[in-house]
């Protein structure tokens, strides 16, 4: 068994590891751990404590994937719910669909009785209000219909790493599973979806081979289909390490758009793993738990510049 989560998974990784060690299914363990992260206000990129979009709204994304069946569930741009990961899980289990967004996802959340709540905490509101005071007065007067394109390009995300939380595991039944939750890029254009709810970009799991999930600049993972690509390279016979390196090579073809930091987390179906922080810094680390460990421990990610050939 193995469990890998990024730095933001800190509040919930211990609980997920405990459940896995007790024989709980991987999906149950991952969902339970992420739920803890989603309501931890010290994690400033996920759920409560995350940053709002340009118009001051909290829009959350999440996804889950069952590597045994290849069923997925995802929600995007959902507002007013505390645990988007659980709504994504129910999309997978109760609907013939794979992805719900916006008002439709919120309707589904209400129908299943998902816990509602305001994710915009006072500190995030304060920072957004300070930014809003710097918006030209003529735009603020007609804010409902103000043009946002240039503001989106100029806005500075308080969490420049644009992170999320990703949980990957190999459970005691040899199932490989993944789950992801995020508040997305702070000060994003309303309705923006990052890679987290896009299956195959931000996360993918296949019990025959392995799983991969990304954090950071999701636009890059979407353009390269990074998570599915890593799993495909493992299917082709590459080690998990080689598969991640090959996916990074694919990213070198990216031109224009948002080229920033992205961290690739991957595991295989034998319990091996690899985490690489593309354009990362020495502070990049992740949490690792393997069968027999008393508790998860932090590990530094390998750092690879995108320009490094």
Q: Choose among 307, 193, 204: nearest CA to 251.
A: 307
Torsion sign over Cα 188, 189, 190, 194: negative
- Are 167 and 192 spatial neighbours (Cβ–Cβ below 8 Å)? no
- Are 161 and 283 spatial neighbours (Cβ–Cβ below 8 Å)? no
Tokens of 26: 């991987």
Q: Is 164 a catalytic residue?
A: yes
Tokens of 94: 């109760």
CA distance 243 to 248: 9
The HSE-up count of residue 41 (CA atoms within 13 Å, CB side) is 8
Catalytic residue, chosen from 164, 229, 232, 263, is: 164
Q: How many CB atoms lie within 10 A of CB 142?
A: 9
- Are 291 and 270 spatial neighbours (Cβ–Cβ below 8 Å)? no
Active site residues: 164
């Amino acid at each position: 068994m193995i469990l890998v989560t990024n730095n933001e998974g800190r509040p919930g990784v211990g609980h997920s590891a405990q459940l896995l060690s007790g024989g709980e299914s991987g999906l149950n363990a991952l969902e339970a751990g992420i739920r803890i992260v989603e309501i931890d206000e010290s994690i400033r990129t996920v759920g409560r404590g995350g940053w709002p979009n340009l118009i001051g709204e909290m829009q959350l994304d999440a996804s889950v994937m069952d590597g045994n069946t290849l069923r997925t569930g995802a929600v995007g741009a959902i507002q007013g719910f505390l645990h988007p990961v659980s709504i994504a899980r129910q999309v997978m289990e109760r609907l013939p669909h794979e992805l719900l967004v916006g008002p439709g996802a919120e309707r589904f959340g209400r129908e299943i009785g998902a816990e509602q709540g305001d994710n915009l905490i006072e500190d995030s509101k304060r920072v957004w209000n300070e930014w809003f005071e710097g918006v030209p007065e003529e735009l603020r007067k007609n804010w409902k219909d103000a043009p946002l394109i240039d503001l989106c390009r100029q806005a500075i995300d308080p969490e420049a790493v644009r992170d999320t939380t990703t949980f990957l595991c190999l459970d005691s039944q040899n199932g490989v599973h993944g789950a992801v939750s995020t508040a997305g890029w702070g000060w994003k254009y309303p309705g923006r979806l990052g890679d987290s709810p896009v299956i195959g970009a931000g996360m993918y799991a296949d019990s025959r081979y392995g799983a991969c999930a990304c954090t950071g600049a999701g636009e890059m993972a979407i353009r390269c289909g990074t998570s599915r690509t890593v799993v495909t390279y493992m299917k082709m016979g590459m080690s998990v390490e080689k598969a991640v390196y090959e996916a990074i090579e694919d990213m070198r073809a990216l031109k224009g758009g948002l080229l920033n930091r992205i961290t690739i987390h991957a595991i295989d179906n034998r319990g091996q793993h690899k985490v690489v922080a593309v354009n990362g810094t020495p502070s990049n680390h992740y949490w690792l738990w393997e069968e027999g460990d008393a508790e998860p421990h932090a590990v530094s990610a390998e750092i690879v510049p995108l320009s490094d050939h």
